[in-house]
Amino acid sequence: MAVKPKSTTPIRDYWPRFQKRSILLTVIMQLIVTVVVGVVLVISGNFELSNLLLWLTLIAVYATTLGVNILLIMSVTEPTKTLMDAITHISGEPTVTTPPNPNAKRFEHNGFKETLQQIYELSVQGYQPTPTDTNTTAIQTALENTTTGFVILDKDRRVVYHNQHAPVGAGQNNEPVLELVFNNEQSLGDWLHDCELHAVHAEKTWTRIANRLPGEEDRRMFDLIASYQKGSVAETVLTLVDRTGEYMPEEEDLDFIAFAAHELRGPITVIRGYLDVLGDELENTLAADQKELLKRLVVSANRLSSYVNNILNASRFDRRHLKVHMKEQTVAGIYSLIQDDMQLRASSQNRILTANIPTNLPTVAADAGSISEVLGNLIDNAIKYSNDGGAITVSAAQVGEFVEVSVQDHGIGMPGPVVSSLFHKFYRSHRSRETVAGTGIGLYIVKAFVESNGGTVSVRSAEGQGSIFSFTLPIYATVAEKLQSGNNSNENLIEHGNGWINNHAMYRG
């Protein structure tokens, strides 16, 4: 809780005034000292007043000592500035200055960490309005009557308060546990860990967060807003807006579509097989226009197969069925599994697809099937959103203990607000819905597969200039022992959620 300043003069204005006064006094005092030294030198007969060397010496001494003194003042008064920044922050005054973080390395080294931490804690403890019984009753009644869930976590992430609409269940020893499923996003626990290390105050919003896995009873879906304030007795406040009515129909539609897709998978496989046979058998008898028609049929059948696989994988992922078995692979070898199909798709859409994957890259730990599907989805997107005749490049390079694979296009690109939502399930921008066919779950699956293989996915894009989608895979030598100890399962590579927040963000077994 912010402590309201009693003075009408903003606290944030003190430090600039103090700094200006200190520097001005230093300049004046140094000038006086320099003048005195000059007078002494002249009176002692060592220099004449008109001697150029005297003036050059005085100017050099003045400039040097002034600079040293100003640097010394800045160094000595740095703790004062840090304290003023912290006080400005806890006062609640608007300021562009970032509040000092007690966990910063320089504060740990100089011993100032404990001082800052104590200031933040005292600010919270010292401003505790005493509620009347009437106010307390009114607040509790209001919180219980709203359909929005409210949860308060202490510094140990224990649930110290929740209303009846919050997704909270009983954990060990019947202690309350927040029940949320973070499928392919940064989990609440991971975010709080980052806050503890790097932030004093922070907020984050998640959308489409469920309290149960698909198929379980009493499944609800929320938009979650988390507010973190270091040192507060209510260190984390969670607001959960129930969006079940808005999101659940799409989830139920996916269940039905997944069932239908499963039934369609067999006939589509047969169609693709017959098209391959026809292409081989009639290679020498078909006219050029007939060959082009057959090629387009193959591309359409492959794309339909890709849509079906995406739908089935999204359904599996939501049910935590993305447990993959990883082996030593080469990126070039994985790409070769889909190279012909991707070249066919690109040429049929008048796109130029090239691959630049060095043969001397270290081997990676990966499930070839899932990563080939990641590459297929990214290349297919690049084809869709490129211009006629556009170039698409697949490349790979070693980055630390990972190999980073990138798919670059020079197409329509994306604005910032679109990029931030790309990997959400069913997300499609207004423009893409109008111009490009798709389901809105391809990138959702890309992120799920990459993270299940121990990597990360990212995107850089500029509107009108194209996009670069990149993902990483761990170098096999760095994770070989973990894989071998787990029978090549990804379980040992993926962290499990734990503590007082029951989430399944990092492992889908």
Average pLDDT over residues 99-124: 70
Lowest mean pLDDT among 86-90, 229-233, 426-430: 426-430
- What is the percent of the chain with per-residue pLDDT over 90, rounded to a whole number? 16
Q: Which residues contact 355 (CB under 8 A, 6 or more apart)?
A: 335, 339, 393, 394, 395
DSSP string, 280-318: HHTTTTS-HHHHHHHHHHHHHHHHHHHHHHHHHHHHHHH
Lowest mean pLDDT among 50-54, 63-67, 183-187: 183-187
Q: Which residues pair with 469 in a beta bridge?
A: 407, 459
Residue 92: pLDDT band by 50, 70, 90 thresholds?
low
Average pLDDT over residues 68-88: 77
Average pLDDT over residues 187-212: 86
CA dist., res. 424 & res. 420, Å (int)? 9
Most confident region among 167-181, 274-288, 455-469, 493-507 by mean pLDDT:
455-469
* pLDDT reading at 6 higher than 50: no
DSSP string, 139-157: HHHHHHHSSSEEEEE-TT-
Strand-strand pairing, 159-162 and 149-153: antiparallel
Using an 8 Å Cβ cutoff, are 489 and 325 in contact? yes
Average pLDDT over residues 341-348: 87
Q: Give the pLDDT score at 430.
A: 44
Token pair of 429 as six digits: 């921008």
pLDDT digits (tens, 9 = 90+) for 431-469: 444 444 444 577 877 887 888 888 989 999 888 888 999
Residue 129: pLDDT band by 50, 70, 90 thresholds?
low
pTM of the model: 0.48
Determine the straight-line distance between the first and last CA of the chain, rounded to whole angstroms: 41
* pLDDT reading at 18 higher than 60: yes
Q: Residues, the chain, total?
A: 509
* pLDDT reading at 386 higher than 80: yes
CA dist., res. 127 & res. 116, Å (int)? 17
* pLDDT reading at 133 higher than 70: no
Residue 389: half-sphere exposure toward Cβ, Cα within 13 Å: 0
User: CA 388, 391, 394 angle in degrees (round to 5)?
Assistant: 140
CA dist., res. 166 & res. 240, Å (int)? 7
Lowest mean pLDDT among 55-59, 240-244, 489-493: 489-493
CA dist., res. 395 & res. 172, Å (int)? 48
CA dist., res. 277 & res. 269, Å (int)? 12
